[in-house]
Amino acid sequence: MFNRFESVLQVVDDALYSATEAGKKKTKNADAKFKEAIDALSAYEKKYHFRDTVIYTMAGAVAKDKSSSTILKRLKEAFLVREDLAP
């Protein structure tokens, strides 16, 4: 599994490198590399993750992020009030 994951990361890295080299120009090489990366990521997801599990995990991460943001916002507001009251 570890080697397969590394190869998927390499394919994605190659696609990003091709896009960086191309800059704003559209190239067949970059398009091909991105198609290959998408295919590799899809194959990896199908083999190692169930789609429902991935969706559930992402939903949980979004909820946790919103919860963390709410807590940080409340803490920030508390510190702002304390700064206003400080002599």
pLDDT in tens, 4-52: 667 888 888 988 888 888 887 777 888 888 888 888 888 887 777 766 6
Per the CB < 8 A criterion, the answer to whether 15 and 41 are in contact is no
User: Which position has the higher pLDDT, 61 or 2?
Assistant: 61
Statement: the pTM of the whole predicted model exceeds 0.75: no
Confidence of residue 73 (pLDDT cuts 50, 70, 90): confident
> What is the model's pLDDT at position 1?
37
Give the start-to-end residue ranges of the domains of the chain: 1-48, 51-87
CA distance 19 to 44: 22
| CA of residue 61 relative to chain centroid, distance | 11
